[in-house]
Amino acid sequence: MLSKLSISNFAIIKHIVFEPVAGLNIITGETGAGKSIILDALGLILGNRADVKTYSEFGEKCVVEGEFTIDSAHYAPLFKQMDLDFESVCIIRREIHKSGKTRTFVNDTPVTLGQLKRLTNTLVAIHSQHENTQLTESAFQFQFIDQFSNSMELRLAYQNALQTYKHQAQALEQLKEQQSQLLKEKDYLSFLLNEFEALSLKADEELSIEQSLAILQNSETLTAFLQDTVNTLSEGEYSVIQSLNQLKNKYRSAEAIHPKVKAVLDRLHSTIIELKDIVAETESLNDLAQHDPVKMDELNARLNSIQQLKRKHGVEQSNELLSIHENIADQLLSIGNIDQSLLELTAQVQKALALVKTSARALHQNRSKHLLALQEAIEDQLHALEMPHAKIQFNLNLSEHMNEWGMDELELCFTANLGMPLQSISKVASGGELSRLALSIRAIEAAHHQLNTLVFDEIDTGVSGRVADTIGQVFKQIALSHQVFAITHLPQVAGYGDAHFFVGKTENNQKTESTIQRLTTKQRIEELAKMLSGNQATEIAKKNAKELLKA
């Protein structure tokens, strides 16, 4: 519960300290004194964003600090998840500078607004008369039904399944777009691949062709040189090999004379063999170097084809064409593989959709199972609030449409009068009826939701007399298990408070300041008397106020 709220430099509040009690806290005061401003300040430490009305003329920095008494069983695990130190008295502070810079602290540890909202989600719920329109919104209705029917886990399971389905469906669409684009390119890629495969380019082939052409283009010079080499070494009248053979024969005759002659003879023999190999290789080169116009034409045509393909693909080196060839082949292969990927992903999407529908049906069934009890609970509350003929009905139907709340279509129908048909709540409920319906729902919600503190900001607008008294009884009943704040203009409601706070305003240094004080019993009688008689605390009004408190 909220044990203390300190507000400094916020709108017309210079500095106030508000210390509510554990039960029903009544807040009254004149219009414009700052009752709603206090709730706006409370909203800041619950994670609401600051706006222009935050800024005050009293100081450069607005500071709102709240002390909450919390239980470890519910909050310690959440504090651990958020890497915050848990303390049974949790202090939340929000600092807002006129520059727009804000800082938020939980037990003096800086936190983000997202973290703050996650923490305060179950600390305080604020309901004002302006939020009665929420009753007509599906989001509010589904949230209320799911809390009453304990369907939150089922809804979370559905939402997880829906998220998975949406991600996979999006991936499938992207793959289909990719396939469509690739199919458009398929014919052109196939044409390019055929060009590469017809050419059958090999690594370093362009260099090899250029070298071969250089040989053929200089064949006469090369042939003459090679033939001269053969003649010199082997075929001439005084060829080198013939001379060495003669010399080798002479060495044989001297072999027996000197022991080292044999070594020289062996070397001569090896030299002759090496020269014969040179002759044979030269003759082979000579055969290859013969002028061949046909082969030259073939090589020039091949070289021209390679160079055309290089220009077409904008590359300098022929070996780069090999990489392009491989890439084109891979793209065409992926077009074939994408069909299989589409089949597999389509099956996954269908499976995910089936899980969404299964989860939605389970959620629908659990909701439906509790609707009658929920309708009866609301009607009981409405009957107690002087609406004896009120009836309410949640029309819940499973559809094919998916949203974050499930696959249910929901319509809240209502009638306050005997014999009148149930119609959509947006068409038939008056302001006072909406207020009582909202209060009934909040009372039931409090019993089924782990809220510590509930705030009702003039939710009793549009009612009076016995109805107002009954509303006070409802507030009192809720306050048996929850801390309740009720901002009201009705003395019948105010009389039920465990503590009564009055919000007023003073003028200091030509500036209006908002104040708040807890009323003593005497002051409370005075305030109730003014509320009963229209700001004039007559003796009769005071007597009625005493009777009201006594009752």
Determine which of 45-54, 89-98, 373-382 has the lowest per-residue pLDDT on average.
45-54
Angstrom distance (rounded) from CA 23 to CA 497: 8
Angstrom distance (rounded) from CA 320 to CA 326: 10
Higher pLDDT, 242 or 215: 242
Angstrom distance (rounded) from CA 1 to CA 124: 8
Give the mean model confidence (pLDDT) for residues 401-426: 90
Nearest Cα neighbor of 356 from 421, 400, 326, 310 is 400
Q: What residue has token string 């039931």?
A: 444
Residue 252's pLDDT band (cuts 50, 70, 90): confident
Confidence at residue 292, expressed as pLDDT on a 0 to 100 scale: 64
Q: What is the DSSP string of 192-232?
A: HHHHHHHHT--TTHHHHHHHHHHHHHTHHHHHHHHHHHHII
Confidence at residue 16, expressed as pLDDT on a 0 to 100 scale: 92
Question: % helix / strand / coil in the chain, to the nearest 5?
Answer: 60, 20, 20
Q: Which two tokens stand for residue 349?
A: 């999407």
Determine which of 220-229, 310-319, 417-426, 487-496 has the lowest per-residue pLDDT on average.
220-229
Q: How far is CA 223 from CA 274, 284, 424, in A?
A: 21, 11, 107
Confidence at residue 368, expressed as pLDDT on a 0 to 100 scale: 96
Q: For residue 53, is pLDDT > 60?
A: no
Residue 223's pLDDT band (cuts 50, 70, 90): low
The tens digit of pLDDT for each residue in 97-145 reads: 887 788 999 999 999 988 898 888 878 888 776 666 677 888 888 988 9
Residue 406's pLDDT band (cuts 50, 70, 90): very high
Q: For residue 386, is pLDDT > 60?
A: yes
Where in the chain is CATH 3.40.50.300? 1-123+451-518
> Helix 261-288 vs helix 219-230: angle between axes, to the nearest 10 degrees?
150
Look at residue 532 and give its three-state secondary structure.
Answer: helix
Residue 60: count of CB within 10 angstroms of its CB: 10
Give the mean model confidence (pLDDT) for residues 478-495: 90
Residue 215's pLDDT band (cuts 50, 70, 90): low
- As assigned by CATH, the class of the 1-123+451-518 domain is alpha beta
Give the mean model confidence (pLDDT) for residues 10-26: 92
Confidence at residue 485, expressed as pLDDT on a 0 to 100 scale: 93
Confidence at residue 297, expressed as pLDDT on a 0 to 100 scale: 79
Q: What residue has token string 């149930």?
A: 422
Residue 288's pLDDT band (cuts 50, 70, 90): low
Decide: 503 and 513 in contact? Cβ < 8 Å: no
Q: How far is CA 354 from CA 359, 397, 403, in A?
A: 9, 19, 15
Model confidence, pTM: 0.63
The tens digit of pLDDT for each residue in 163-200 reads: 999 999 999 999 888 878 777 777 778 788 888 888 88
Q: What is the DSSP string of 313-376?
A: HT-SSHHHHHHHHHHHHHHHHHHHHHHHHHHHHHHHHHHHHHHHHHHHHHHHHHHHHHHHHHHH
| Most confident of the ranges 68-82, 270-284, 436-450, 490-504 | 490-504
Q: For residue 411, is pLDDT > 60?
A: yes
Nearest Cα neighbor of 457 from 149, 16, 37 is 37
Residue 54's pLDDT band (cuts 50, 70, 90): low
Q: For residue 52, is pLDDT > 60?
A: no
Angstrom distance (rounded) from CA 238 to CA 297: 41
Residue 409's pLDDT band (cuts 50, 70, 90): very high
| Most confident of the ranges 47-51, 146-150, 461-465 | 146-150
Q: For residue 147, is pLDDT > 90?
A: no
Burial 327-339, CB ≥16 within 10 A → b, else e: ebeeebeebeebe
Higher pLDDT, 373 or 60: 373
Q: For residue 429, is pLDDT > 80?
A: no
Confidence at residue 226, expressed as pLDDT on a 0 to 100 scale: 66
Question: What is the strand order of the sheet 391-403 is part of?
Answer: 391-403, 406-415, 423-424
Q: Which two tokens stand for residue 414?
A: 């209502």
